[in-house]
Amino acid sequence: MFWRLFSLGLCQAVAAGLGWYLAPRGEQWQIALAMALLGGYVWFVLDSARGLRLLGWLRAGATTDVAIGNGLWGEAYDRVRRILRATNKLAADSDNRLKDFLAAMQASPNGVVLLDSDARIEWFNQTAATHFGFDVQRDLLQHLGNLVRDPEFAAYLTARNFGHDVVMHGKENRDSKPVKLSVHLHPYGEGRMLLLSRDITAKEQAEAMRRDFVANVSHEIRTPLTVLAGFVETLQTLPLDEQERQRYLGLMSQQAQRMQTLVSDLLTLSRLEGSPSPSMNEWVSVDVLMRQCEQEARDLSHVLWTQSHDLRFERTPGCEIAGSTLELHSAMSNLIGNAIRYTPAQRSIEVGFKRQADGGAVFFVTDQGPGIAQEHIPRLTERFYRVDRSRSRDTGGTGLGLAIVKHVAQRHGAELSIDSVPGKGSTFSIVLPASRMRCTPGT
């Protein structure tokens, strides 16, 4: 303020001095006073012009620099410019943090939806768009209840009791591919809500498989135990001749063998799931495996059927597989054993091992059994899944064979393929990658 008053006084003094110097004698005081007033007016006009320039700069958004000069207006300009720069930097930092936060929510494996106080959608990430079928261009500011029509979720949203989550079907839910979501709303701010959705399909399926597994194991063990208990009670309470005793003991041995086979298959599955993949340094002769499987197949066919099958084994000598002998033998013998159990006597069963053009190979078993309907094929490798339960038990199956085959194939980088036509038969194939194969030239 001192310099402002000093500049005003200086301007008036210069103007008054100039008037005194130029005025005629006798009129110096009058003209000097008039010139002092004029100097003050000029100073005021120039000062106002600088003030107007500062005001115009502020009205324009203060985006560019202007020449205000020194003095009060210059100092005000400098202070405002520093404040604006600090504010702009703070806003830019806040904007960057907001972008980082939104990017983090966008990368979240869970669905995230931001809702206003009226439950209208303000923002959502791509996962939420997949879960609920939202579209950015179409659904922003739409009411959530108009887009998510699940009855349980609608009741949950209306009740405003958000102390728990709600389970509902996802937008892409199909009978062939179910999708289950866990949805939870969290109030925040002034009436706003945060919606989190999580895909729990795998968890639900795992839980269902666990329940089915426990139920199936209990059932599979309880049945032979019931038979054994009944025979033991019969032997203990009834006078039987030697022939009857031998028949009952034979049936008891059969049920005990059935439980032993079941326990053995369960232990095999547990070992396959809990151990590292087979080494790439151990090589197994395919020809030796095929000879073992052929002998076992002929013996099994003779035991299960009064008349044997027409078994045809095609070999490719000189080939080896990198992997576990026991696991590969288990997978191959399971496929052959299933074909023998389900194919009527005297019909043909073809077993082969062929190289492929890409360097890999395929082991296949083709039977002339009843075939399998297409709706059953995706579930055949589930534990204890049977197309015909009574038929499986009659032939001694545990319902674990194809689950073992699938695990062995996966551990060797292979793929289990199933092709079947009801009434004509089935082909089960293990497609091995080239990295697991080694064959002598010319084979």
Residue type, 112: V
pLDDT digit string, tens, across residues 332-343: 999 999 999 899
**Which of the four pLDDT bands, split at 50, 70 and 90, describes residue 28?**
low
Q: What letter does residue 385 receive in the DSSP assignment?
A: -
> Nearest to residue 234, comparing CAs of 251, 218, 248, 220?
248
Sheet of strand 319-322: strand arrangement: 283-285, 319-322, 437-439
**d(C-alpha 334, C-alpha 329), whole Å:** 8
- CATH C-level class of 276-443: alpha beta
Higher model confidence: residue 321 or residue 176? Answer: 321
**Which of the four pLDDT bands, split at 50, 70 and 90, describes residue 351?**
very high
Q: What percent of the chain has pLDDT over 70?
A: 85
pLDDT at 41: 67
pLDDT at 215: 76
Contact 319, 356 (CB under 8 A): no
Contact 424, 371 (CB under 8 A): yes
**pTM score above 0.75:** no
**Which of the four pLDDT bands, split at 50, 70 and 90, describes residue 389?**
low
DSSP-based three-state secondary structure for 374: coil
Q: How far is CA 109 from the centre of its chain?
A: 7
Residue type, 170: G
Residue type, 113: V
DSSP-based three-state secondary structure for 412: coil
**Which of the four pLDDT bands, split at 50, 70 and 90, describes residue 10?**
low
> What's the topology of domain 205-275?
Helix Hairpins (1.10.287)
**Which of the four pLDDT bands, split at 50, 70 and 90, describes residue 360?**
very high
pLDDT at 286: 94
**d(C-alpha 181, C-alpha 97), whole Å:** 30
CATH superfamily of the 108-199 domain = PAS domain (3.30.450.20)
Which residues, including other chains, have CB under 8 Å from residue 131's CB and lie 6 or more apart?
A: 111, 170, 171, 181, 197, 199
Contact 193, 187 (CB under 8 A): yes
pLDDT at 251: 84
pLDDT at 98: 81
Helices (H), 107-195: 126-132, 136-139, 144-147, 151-159
Q: Under the phi-then-psi rule, with left for phi > 0, alpha for psi from -120 to 50, and beta for the rest, what region is 391?
A: alpha
Q: Which of 5-19, 83-97, 122-136, 180-194 has the lowest mean pLDDT?
A: 5-19
Q: What percent of the chain has pLDDT over 90?
A: 38
